[in-house]
């Protein structure tokens, strides 16, 4: 399985780095692949707090797409709010979504999924500061740390992306693998996960 993490200027660094750390452990297996990607090709990104890093590839046709947040609540000039206003990223997300095994987000990355039309009538979560806005898009708001609606997996604020990433590893590769990665990271898992019954 190939997961691509979509990054952009103004992204919250922890939204990216937490899941990246988890999935990079999983990617030591031959059946698991991870890439950090820019929307329009390789990108040099400056995060919300000034960290500069590179996305060596552009968004492709992965099995799963993970969308971080950052810069939504303060309507920043760079970040998820700015990307939603620009509209290019949300259009690409909407076009790609039907081909994915799942699409995920942490923090206000879920607002980009909302702008792409992916949360209406579905259980989802986001940073608590954007709960009301997520509901305005028609989401069935859950206040759990991670919300699994099958092809849509969302997480709350910032550090909850680590729990989402570990949950995905457990869902795809089993609890022993996920617990092993958490142990290697010396991370105490928060298992506050809402799972939809389909």
What is the domain range of residue 69?
2-195
Residue 197 — very low, low, confident or very high, per pLDDT cuts 50/70/90?
confident
The number of beta carbons lying within 10 Å of the beta carbon of residue 161 is 32
Q: Does the model's pTM come out above 0.95?
A: yes
Split into its structural domains, the chain has a count of: 1
Tokens 């607002």 found at: 111
User: Which residue from 139, 155, 13 is spatially nearest to 71, judged by alpha carbons?
Assistant: 13
Average pLDDT of the chain, as a whole number: 97
Catalytic residue flag (residue 107) = yes
Q: Which of 103, 107, 168, 182 is catalytic?
A: 107
The string of pLDDT tens digits covering residues 53-94 is: 999 999 999 999 999 999 999 999 999 999 999 999 999 999
Q: C-alpha angle with apex 98: 94 to 104, nearest 5 degrees?
A: 70
User: 12: domain CATH number?
Assistant: 3.40.50.880
Q: How far apart are CA 164 and CA 109, in angstroms?
A: 13
């Amino acid at each position: 399985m190939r997961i691509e993490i979509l990054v952009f200027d103004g992204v919250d660094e922890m939204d990216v780095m937490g899941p990246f750390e988890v999935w990079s452990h999983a990617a030591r297996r031959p059946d698991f692949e991870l890439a950090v990607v820019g929307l329009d090709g390789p990108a040099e990104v400056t995060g919300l707090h000034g960290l500069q890093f590179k996305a060596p590839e552009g968004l492709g046709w992965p099995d799963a797409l993970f969308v971080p947040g950052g810069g939504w609540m303060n309507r920043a000039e760079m970040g998820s709010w700015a990307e939603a206003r620009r509209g290019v990223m949300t259009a690409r997300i909407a076009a790609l979504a039907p081909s994915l095994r799942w699409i995920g987000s942490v923090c206000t990355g879920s607002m980009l999924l909302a702008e792409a039309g992916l949360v209406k009538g579905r259980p989802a979560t986001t940073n608590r500061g954007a709960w009301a806005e997520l509901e305005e898009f028609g989401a069935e708001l859950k206040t759990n740390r991670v919300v699994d609606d099958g092809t849509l997996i969302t997480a709350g604020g910032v550090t909850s992306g680590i729990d989402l990433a570990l949950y995905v590893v457990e869902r795809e590769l089993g609890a022993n693998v996920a617990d092993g990665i958490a142990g290697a990271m010396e991370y105490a898992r928060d298992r506050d996960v809402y799972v939809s019954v389909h």
